[in-house]
Structure formats: structure tokens, C-alpha cells
Structure 1
Amino acid sequence: MSDFTHPLINNGWFKEVSDELFPGQALELKVKKILHTEKSEFQDILVFESTDYGNVLVLDGIIQVSERDEFAYQEMITHLPIFSHKDPKSVLVIGGGDGGVLREVLKHDYIEKIVLVEIDETVIQLSKKYLKGMAIAFENPKIEVKLCDGFKYLLELGQESIENKFDIIITDSSDPEGPAAAFFQQQYFKLLYNSLNSKGIVITQASENVWLKIELLKNLKNTINQVFPIVKYSYTTVPTYTSGQLGLMIASKDPNAKLNIPERSLSELKEEELFKYYNKEIHKASFILPNWAKNYLDQ
């Protein structure tokens, strides 16, 4: 294996267990080699090479990305809001120190301003070393990185003039345990609202999906709806997230925004050139839910 050890890796297998987030189930990946493990100032970090999913980044015991399927998450959380906006020029990413969302934003040449706010520089440095296909975005001069707390940054941004605010804000946070729990509360969405332009759109990973704790999804949707006039639930399929599905909450300051139907689209040829997962049909389909889930979330 390697000289490193980690308490979540036993007999050559990494096991993700969280009775709080994923009660009654777990996820295992076979480990080829432990590449890095440390406790940064903010979290426990593990990077390992798996036998079938490439390199894997784990924060506080929860898989964040694997090289094999990361694009399914990065593309959807990025392109859903960008294609839902009529004329986006600026994008703020909260979290996302692995660089995957930045890589996707850079596929839109008309985006003029891209800012990443990441509290843990260690994640950026390890991603540059072990997740090069994602972290390549950090080499682009268009990217501005702020190493600070997302809450503090948004609080200051909310006091700024309109020209310094954003058209799109993407919250690529960890799951709602510990410090990241604040990213799922009403105060945070008020800060997002005040940091957006008049037709601004925000998207956040919802941690849950309809197969896990659907009641938490409903609570999150209601929380966001107390701040934004329109909120919709979407999802993407990612094998290395427990249950294979991850929810996304997208909201707009514009009450007439459709969100589930792209405002703009590319040709099929261009979509195939740029994206592995996203296309205009997936955009629309990702908002369609089975009856029981739709009825529960909408009631």
C-alpha cells in the first residue's frame, strides 16, 4: 500500500460511514495506495489511489471527488446555473478548492470575472498534486483565488456596490457537518442574495437526495424559499456519492426565471466537444422527479 495509514482504510478498503448523513448504509472503494493523509487547520484530509476510480479526495471521512466520475458533479453544478442565466458575466465559487468547478466555468468564454473563495489552502495544494485534471484551472490568469472564510467574504461583498456583485454563485461546500453546516442555514442564503446582481442565480449541493433523507431536502428548499422567490431541486448521478445520486438546489432572484429550461444552449456537436455529462436535455430531465418525491417536496 504505502507508508501512510488511515483509520477509515482497513484490509485494503476505504469505508465511508455516516449514521448522521447516510443512516443504514455505507460505501466502500478498494484502495491501491494511500497517497496522502493529514489534519489541516480545518479538516481531516485523505487522498488515495483506488483500483477502479482513480485518485480520490476525502474530507472528514466523506468522499468529495474521484477522478472517474467527478465530471458528473462538476458539470451539473456549474452549467445548470450558467445556462439558466440570460447573460452571465461573473461567477463566484464558494469552496471548490479541487478546481473542478473552475475548470467548467472556464469553458464559457463570455464569463469575464471568476473568483474562488476557499478557506483551506491545503485542499488546493493537494489537488494540484493529485487531481491535476481538475486543478489545471488554477493556471488560468482569469481565476482569482481568495483564501478566506466564505461567510466573511460574502458579508463584505453584500456591502459593495452593484458592479462588484455576481451573476452566478456556486456553493461547492462539504456536507452539513461541523463548520460546513452553516452553508445550509437561512443566514447564508441571505448573504448570497445580497451578493447577487438583480437577476442572479445561486446553486448549492444539497448533500441529500430523494433516496436518503428527503425530509432534509424539503427543509432546505423551504429555507431557501424564505429568501429567494424561486427555488428548484435538481440532481446528478455520481457513483461515489452514497446511493449514487446527489441533489442540487438552484434559486434565482428573478421570480420569472425558469431554471429547469436553459435560456441558452449549444449545438449537439459543441456539447459533445465540451462536456462529458451535461447537455440541454439532461438539464431539463434533471428536474423531473418520480411522483412520490415531487409531491412531497412541492406540498
Structure 2
Amino acid sequence: MNGIREGWFSEVNALWPGQCMSLEVEEVLLHEKSPFQDVMMLKTKHHGNALILDGVIQVTESDEFSYHEIGSNVPLNAHPNPEKVLIIGGGDGGMAREVCRNPAVKSVTQCEIDELVVNACKKYLPNLAVGFDDPKMNLIIGDGFDFMGKHKGEFDVIITDSSDPFGPAKVLFEKPYYQLMMEALRPGGIIASQGECLWLHLDLIRDMFKFCREIFPVVDYTTVSVPTYPSGQIGFMLCSLNPETNFRKPVRTFTDEEIETLGLKYYNTEMHAASFVLPHFAKKVLEGKAQK
């Protein structure tokens, strides 16, 4: 059972059997139950403040930037004109921060179902939640399924920043959700959706690849290192309605000066390319040449 014992929080979950990440805790800043989930904010000894949802680490201040910079800039820079962006989830604000930073983006709508998470992050993770105050941002507290069903054909890019595939988030890893995202895109639109861990969930990723290829002409997977996530790796499913899209060769790149101006710490042109390099065992499975 997840909890704090002898000054350590341990993340125990059946999705990563036989292993867990532990964080040394200085203080419990918040622990409340919303209508949707258990919400905990911890002040850790070495990783800054950390958001925990239903006993699972969502972000720590020490390494959140890698996930958010790859999850935003890879899809945005693959689209020739990503003016209008929708974020589903992402209640910590980190994805909104990065999307709003991208100079090609003109407006951002975010649907987050749990207002407690947003308010907690505004208070305890202000470096992430800064995106909520950006003039480009329109934050909606509500259900992303319902919103997309009412806003078809509106967005250039949709980014899903979700928790792991159990409980309410399980449906975000299934074909009907991807179909719904596709219908909310403008012609040539792109999606990026949290795509789990190659080391732990390769069967799930393979199955997602299969149904995504039934919906979109272009499908790919990008990977990023996040030390406090299970096995230290997570990825994003990338899909495009434009058959000419090549996610591996961005249509827009940042100079070194632009990277410094934007405040990026992980993403650059080389890292964009490197994020698509997969270990051989995973490449074979995702290319359909092997079974896990």
C-alpha cells in the first residue's frame, strides 16, 4: 500500500510489479480526496515538491521539465502552423507552460477535470502552474470527452497529459478516445498522448500502435527520460492526419539562442531526433517483427 513510512513515500502499483520509486519526505503539504482521486503534495528532501495522485508520482520539481518539453515541442514543431492547441488533463500546469512558450502557438484551451489538482499546483508548484496565467490560456474545469464531443474540427494540435491506465484514466488509452481526438482536429492536425513505458508496458504500446494506424495515416512514438517515473522512461504516442508529416524531422527548429530565451532545459534539435531512437527489442515489437 502506498504511503509514508519512516520519512519515505513509496510508490507501489501493480502496473510496475516488483519495483517502486521512493522519495524521502520532509513535509506533507497537502493530502485531500477530490471527487475523482486522492491528491497529495509532498515536500521532498532531494526532488523539490512532488504531486502524487492515487499513490502515483505525477511530477517532481527536479525532473518535470524533460517530460513537458518533449511532450509539447515534438508535436508542435512537427506541425507547420500549430496556432490552436488543446490540452486534456495536465492539471499541474507544466504542459500548459511549455505550450504557451512556443512562439507558433496563438491560443491554448485546457480541460482538466479536477479543480483540486489545479489549485494545489498553483500553491505548491508555481513554477509549473505559471502557464495557467498566460494570456494565451483558457482553462476549463471539466471533462475532456464532453468538451471534444462539442468541439469537432477545431484544433491544430491536441496533447493528452494523463495519468497511468488504471481507474478513470484507462479509457484514455483506448481506441474510442483516439477517434474522439481525431474528430476534434482540423485537417492535417496532430495529437500527442502520454504513451507509457517501453520497459513495462510494451504490449499496451504495441496495441495502441495498431489501433492508431487504423485511424491516422502517420503514427510514431517518442521517448523521454524522467528519473522519478517507473523505470525512468516514458513516451508519447504521436499521430497525424497529414500523410506528409515526419515527426522525426521537425518543420520548425530552435536556435541555441531561442532555446535559452524560451528557458528550455531538455529539448533541442538533437534531443528531438534522439527521442525517436528505440532499443532494438522495442523497435522490433512496434514494427510488428516480434512479439514481446
TM-score (norm 1): 0.93
CA RMSD in angstroms comes to 1.2
Structure 1 residue 223: Cα displacement = 2.1
Give the match for residue 295 of structure 1. Answer: 284
SS in 1 for 2:77: helix
- Identify which of 190, 201, 204 aligns with 2:179: 190
The match for 2:13 among 18, 21, 29 is 18
Contact 2:108 2:138 in 1 (8 A): yes
Identify if the C-alpha distance between structure 1 residues 39 and 253 changes in structure 2 by more than 3 Å, giving closer, same or farther.
Answer: same
SS in 2 for 1:15: strand
The CA distance in 2 between the partners of 1:134 and 1:224, in whole Å, is 30
Where do residues 88-167 of structure 1 align in structure 2 (5 Å cutoff)? 88-158=82-152, 162=153, 165-167=154-156
* Secondary structure of 1:98 counterpart: coil
2:194 to 199, 202, 205: 205
Structure 1 runs not aligned, ≥5 long: 1-5
The residue that corresponds to 1:86 in the other structure is: 80
Find runs of 4+ consecutive structure 1 residues off by over 3 angstroms.
Answer: none
The alignment partner of 1:243 has SS state of helix
Q: Which residue of the other structure, out of 228, 238, 259, is the alignment partner of 1:271?
A: 259
Look up the match of 1:214.
Answer: 202
Which among 207, 223, 233 is matched to residue 211 of structure 2? 223
Provide the rounded CA distance (Å) in 1 between the counterparts of 2:151 and 2:166. 25
Deviations 1:9-48 (A, max 9, x none): 11100000112x1122111111111110011010001100
How far off is 1:256 after superposition? 1.6
Please name the residue that 1:3 is paired with: none
Equivalent residue, structure 1, for 2:68: 74
> Does 1:282 pair with 2:282?
no
Report the alpha carbon displacement of residue 269 of structure 1 after superposing the two structures with TM.
2.1
Superposed displacement of residue 191, structure 1:
0.6
- Distance in 2, matches of 1:94 and 1:290, equals 29
Contact 2:2 / 2:9 at 8 angstroms: preserved in 1?
A: no
Q: What is the rounded CA distance, in whole Å, between the counterparts of 1:251 and 1:84 in structure 2?
A: 11
What TM-score do the two structures reach when normalised by structure 2? 0.96
Structure 2 gap segments, 5+ residues each: none
Give, in angstroms, the shift of residue 136 of structure 1.
1.2
Q: Figure out how many residues of one structure are paired with residues of the other and give that number.
A: 287
Distance 2:23 2:102 in 1: 34
